[in-house]
Amino acid sequence: MKTFSAFLLLLLGAGSLRAQGVSPASNGSSRYGAATTFLQDYQTVGINPANLGLWNKETKMITFGAAEIGMQLHTNALTRKDIFSKVIKSHTLTAAEKTQAIQDFIYHPVAVNLDLLVAGVSVQLPKLGGFAFTLRQHAAGNYEFNNFVSNLLFRGIHDQDYFSHIITDANQNQVAVSDTPQYISRLFNGTSINYLWYQSYNLSYGRQVLKTDLLNLYGGIGLQYLQGFGIMSAQFTGDGLQGFTANSPLLKIDYSGLNLQNAVVGNGLKQVGTGAGVDIGVTALLFKILKIGVAITDLGSITWSGNSLDLKDTKLDSLKNFGGVSTLSPVDIFKAFNNLKESVGWQEGVTRKVALPARLRFGSSIALGKMLEAGFDIVQPLNDKPGSLTNTYFALGVDFQPIKSLTFSSGLIAGGNTDTDIPFGVAISAGANQLYQFGISVADVLTFIQPSKPTLGLSLGFLRFQF
């Protein structure tokens, strides 16, 4: 998994896009948007495992895919031009650009998401049902800052509105000191910072459970084993604060000065948590053309037992050697809050069990002849854990297949972690019996027309085969 780890840091750290992000429907396929009744074979794993039981004369017995990736970034803080010129190109901010960034990020949330299907395979049989296995990595994050945190983030020790003076200590560290220190729960009030990164091994099964002349009913279940690589959950309200973080050594968080009882040392990608999850789903096929699906996904948790820190409410009396972040990279921003342990209140933590970002999905679609399928999805977050949707997600979707080897997908997306988006994708089949398939989609075509509130997202799949 070292290749993916480097790729993750390239995308998020060196300045690219994770998706929440990919939208909850892209799942590495050639589409964003509605998915609860649209997807089949291994691509329905984590969406609605009941669809593995769907079977018709067009269904292929074996489907295999690898290296399918979906990524997305949405923000009200930056324009499309800013994302391309300052985030993707990993631009080092000037003093004037830092001043502008302070204003841009005040109460303007950012959501990022990345989903990589390392490998997936499914076997679908008309009598036994469908089996699927996927190895997938997920990373998701979002953050929103108040005025004080935005200033602290980009100015650091040079935030003269709070820090009274800067001294040089005996070890030649530059230390900003406040004459009137306040508790961080008050200073950070209204700020939230969350991310989640884990790897899942998912074994799913779906089959037909009822058959009549008018109704076919399908049920499915997916079982997950999870490896946790990184998490942060930090919420600051007028009533106080709560926070927890744990990270793999790959992220190079500075733990010096802390006596970690559960240290995971070394280099590279090492797990700092393990867990399990369950997906369950039901799909009904009415009159052979109308599908209705309901699923609950990511029921479970990860126990974070390595490199864990808890957030304590302390007075921010000083800040050492932090001149502010120099890029707009989400990873640089996440790392900055991890590394401000001496000032922001991170202390040695204990093992903590954190629920997965569970979701309830409801969707329906109807086949309008052989070339067109249209439908909708409603996705409701069941908690507010790291990686969760911030709002209910609504999607309209349509697939148009003018010929067997070509499918166009589009629709309308609202809610979730974005505003209003219009996705567009193309999937192409080639070879005998459409053996080889590949697809590409963008999360929002409006982003390339209007500059503000962009949703930059890309979903790619070029190694997909059906037999």
Q: What CATH number is associated with residue 141?
A: 2.40.160
- 201-210, 321-330, 376-385: least confident range: 321-330
In 3D, which of 423, 365, 367 has the Cα closest to residue 37?
365
DSSP labels, 131-164: EEEEEEEEEEEEEEB-HHHHHHHHHGGG-TTT--
> Can you tell me the distance from the alpha carbon of 78 to that of 80, in angstroms, rounded to the nearest whole number?
7
- 45-54, 211-220, 259-268, 321-330: least confident range: 259-268
- pLDDT at position 31 is 63
Tell me how long the chain is.
Answer: 467
- pLDDT at position 212 is 95
- pLDDT at position 342 is 61
In 3D, which of 225, 231, 228, 224 has the Cα closest to residue 198?
228
In 3D, which of 56, 55, 224 has the Cα closest to residue 129?
55
- pLDDT at position 128 is 94
Per the structure, the count of domains in the chain is 1
| Planar angle of CA 234, 236, 239, nearest 5 degrees | 135
- pLDDT at position 418 is 81
> Can you tell me the distance from the alpha carbon of 206 to that of 387, in angstroms, rounded to the nearest whole number?
26
CA within 13 Å, CB half, 423: 38
pTM: 0.89
Q: What does the CA dihedral 32, 37, 40, 44 come to, rounded to 10 degrees? A: 70
Average pLDDT, the chain: 87
Res 387 pLDDT > 80: yes
243-275: buried (b, 16+ CB within 10 Å) or exposed (e) per residue? bbbbbbbbbebebeebeeeeebeeeebebbbeb
**In the numeric block, which tokens belong to residue 130?**
């469908």
Strands (E), 152-287: 165-168, 174-177, 192-211, 215-237, 240-247, 273-286
The residues with which 81 forms a beta bridge, in sequence order, are none
| Planar angle of CA 237, 242, 243, nearest 5 degrees | 125
Q: Which residues contact 261 (CB under 8 A, 6 or more apart)?
A: 348, 350
Cβ atoms of 219 and 207 closer than 8 Å: yes
In 3D, which of 22, 29, 79, 70 has the Cα closest to residue 51?
29
More confident residue, 303 or 14: 303
Q: Which domain holds residue 57?
A: 2-466
**In the numeric block, which tokens belong to residue 350?**
């204990």
pLDDT digits (tens, 9 = 90+) for 252-261: 888 877 778 7
Backbone angles phi and psi of 225, in degrees to 5:
-110, 135
> Can you tell me the distance from the alpha carbon of 277 to that of 226, in angstroms, rounded to the nearest whole number?
8
What's the rounded mean pLDDT across residues 59-81?
Answer: 90
Res 278 pLDDT > 90: yes
Cβ atoms of 191 and 202 closer than 8 Å: no
More confident residue, 278 or 12: 278
**In the numeric block, which tokens belong to residue 310?**
């808890």
